[in-house]
Amino acid sequence: MFDKITYTNRRLKLRKKIKSGLILLLGNTESPMNYPSNTFRFRQDSNFLYFFGLDVPNLAGIIDIEDGKDSLYGDDFDIDDIVWMGPQPSLKELGEQVGVLSTHPSKELAIKLKHAISLGRKIHILPPYRSENILRLEKVIGVGQDLIKYYTSKELIKAVVDLRSIKEPCEIEEIEKASAIGYQMHVTAMKMAKAGMKELQIAGTIEGISCANGTMPSFPIILSQHGETLHNHDHSQILKEGGLLLVDAGAESVSHYASDNTRTIPVNGKLTQKQKEIYNLVLAAVNNSVEIAKAGMPYLNVHLAAAKVITEGLISLGLMKGNADEAVANGAHALFFPHGLGHMMGLDVHDMEDLGEDYVGYDDEISRSDQFGTASLRLGRKLQEGFVLTVEPGIYFIPALFEKWKSEKINQGFINYDKVAEYLDFGGIRLEDDILITPNGARILGKRIPITPEEVEKTVLS
Ligand code: GLY
Ligand code: MN
Ligand code: MN
């Protein structure tokens, strides 16, 4: 947790962006896994964490624009709770930690909100994403769940996105801590990437590193020799000589900031010539993206530049043909690179995605493309100093997508389908770094995880 001034200042900034009414921010509750007292690991809501800082279940915060007060709602623990949980701070003490002096029992939240509604005051909420909180909202606002969406406030969403998009120095420090854990996770995976090793064993070991040094992985670990399946959570295979192990994993720091990196590791360390040719194209696309990303540049342009690097490379290898600019304009690269170049990162690995991807990644100036591939780009708008985002190009050979495009003759003027057919058992390569937009361009957060073929080989064999 940061100093209480951090949270007081954030709430003050939020107030200035909202014209009138009450802002309600619900923290998360415990959520049962298979019976009520066996819960999933508790994860606080990121918006609540950002403005109220408390990593404790069952709280709610209110920022009242008219009376100028910030209030915390929750319940003190009784002696029965303390017998099971040990000594706990009171609600008043929790409030003091984050600069909130007005604290109230949970049951008063509904009274406060219903009274405000009866006076015709506006209630601003963010889109709920957990069913427990939808039920809480029904109770405290007093409407059925179908009507809750009318309380979701675009004004509040935009204000929160404005604030959370620009990372404060204390947040960058936390992201760097998550990066340091991520570094350890990836280097460990590289050292374990020997033929005969189980994917499961590597996935479990690096998940342990994230838990031992932070809180947990920042998202379920993606680790597979079938990297062509973009989010492959199946870890059931044994590593084979000649395989490419794609590891997309990150850590959540103790204060819940994320890292998110991908490396693709040749089992036993050595890329074949064919693998190296594709690997170096992806590497060139990452490096070019980090080099050109800067404040004022739309991330859509950085995405398209990465697509062009990949396309030019695939043309030189004979997998694509024609003019690279025209191929990218027609979306032909998306047969190989069917996802976006990256996304914002912070308290969430896909930062603020609960608020709506288009509010976070697009604006009045730049709207989302509807072309296959680029349509998946989560962040397209102009970059600003203080943004933290991922750069994660890839090249994949997805048999089902190949069959569809080939049979429908999609972009056949740009793709050498016969040549691509020789790569259908290749798998996929993705490389992902996290960057901060600085006054002079962009810098990679954390110590860069080994990424050149030589660095990766050396690490696998170390
Ligand atoms: N959560 C996977 C990624 O965005 O890289
Ligand atoms: Mn990732
Ligand atoms: Mn990512």
**146 C-alpha vs ligand 2 centroid, how far in Å?**
34
Ligand showing the shortest atom-to-Cα distance for residue 220? 1
Q: What is the mean pLDDT of residues 178-202?
A: 98
Q: What is the pLDDT of residue 209?
A: 98
pLDDT digits (tens, 9 = 90+) for 64-121: 999 999 999 999 999 999 999 999 999 999 999 999 999 999 999 999 999 999 999 9
Ligand 1 binding pocket includes 357 (Cβ within 6 Å): no
pLDDT attached to residue 216: 97
Rounded to the nearest angstrom, the distance between the alpha carbon of 55 and the centre of ligand 2 is 25
Q: Shortest CA distance to 249 belongs to which of 264, 238, 239, 236?
A: 264
Residue 161 is predicted with a pLDDT of 98
Give the pLDDT mean for 135-159.
Answer: 95
Residues 90-108, buried b or exposed e (16+ Cβ, 10 A)? ebeebbeebbbeebbebee
pLDDT tens for each residue of 374-406 = 999 999 999 999 999 999 999 999 999 999 999
Atom of ligand 1 nearest to the CA of 262: 5
* CA–CA gap between residue 322 and residue 415 (Å, rounded): 8
Atom of ligand 1 nearest to the CA of 231: 2
Say if ligand 1 is within 6 A of residue 348 CB: no
Q: Measuring CA to CA, which residue among 219, 154, 148 is closest to residue 358?
A: 154
Starting from the CA of residue 376, give the closest ligand: 1
**CB-based burial of residue 150 (10 Å sphere; 0-12 exposed, 13-18 middle, 19+ buried)?**
exposed
385 C-alpha to ligand 3 centroid (Å)? 20
What pLDDT is stored for residue 115 in this prediction? 96
Question: Which residue puts its alpha carbon closest to atom 2 of ligand 1?
Answer: 248
To test ligand 1's pocket by mutation, which of 185, 388, 392 has the most ligand atoms within 8 angstroms of CB? 392
Q: Give CA–CA dist 343/274, Å, rounded.
A: 30
Q: Are 29 and 58 in contact (CB under 8 A)?
A: yes
Q: 379-396 b/e with 16+ CB inside 10 Å = b?
A: bbbebeebbbbbbbbbbb
| Cα–Cα distance list, 382 to 376, 445, 457 (Å) | 17, 20, 37
Domains of the chain with CATH codes = 4-164 (3.40.350.10), 169-461 (3.90.230.10)
Ligand 1 neighbour 417 (Cβ under 6 A): no
Contacts of residue 255, defined as CB under 8 A and 6 or more positions apart, other chains included, come to 1, 2, 49, 55, 174
Q: CA-based diameter of the chain, in Å?
A: 74
250 CA → ligand 3 middle, Å: 9
Q: What is the rounded average pLDDT of the residues 207-236?
A: 96
- Give me ligand 1 centre to Cα 250, in Å: 9
Question: What ligand has the least distance to the C-alpha of 434?
Answer: 3
Judge if the beta carbon of residue 77 lies within 6 A of ligand 1.
Answer: no
Whether ligand 1 lies within 6 angstroms of the CB of 351 is answered as: no
Tell me, using a 6 A CB cutoff, whether residue 187 lines ligand 1.
Answer: no
Each residue of 13-28: pLDDT tens digit? 999 999 999 999 999 9
Predicted local confidence at residue 277, as pLDDT: 98
Give residue 428 CA to ligand 2 midpoint distance, Å. 14
Shortest-distance atom of ligand 1 to CA 432 = 5
The response to whether residue 349 sits with its C-beta less than 6 Å from ligand 1 reads yes
Which residue's CA lies nearest to atom 1 of ligand 1?
219
Q: Which long-range contacts (CB under 8 A, 24 or more apart) does 68-73 make?
A: 68/15, 69/102, 70/8, 70/11, 70/99, 70/100, 70/102, 71/100, 71/102, 71/103, 71/104, 71/112, 72/98, 72/100, 72/102, 72/103, 72/104, 73/103, 73/104, 73/105, 73/106, 73/108, 73/109
Cα(222) to ligand 2 centroid in Å equals 8
Of ligand 1's atoms, which has the minimum distance to the CA of residue 219?
1
Query: Distance from the CA of 262 to the center of ligand 2, in angstroms?
Result: 5
Q: What is the pLDDT of residue 136?
A: 97
Ligand 3 center–CA 262 separation, angstroms = 8
Average pLDDT, the chain: 97
Burial 69-86 (b: 16+ CB within 10 A, else e): ebbbbbeebeeeeeeeee
Mean of the pLDDT values across residues 331-346?
98
Best residue for ligand 1 mutational test, from 282, 350, 353, 396 (most atoms within 8 Å of Cβ) = 350
pLDDT digits (tens, 9 = 90+) for 46-64: 999 999 999 999 999 999 9
Whole-number pLDDT of residue 368: 98
Distance 345 CA to ligand 3 centre (A): 8
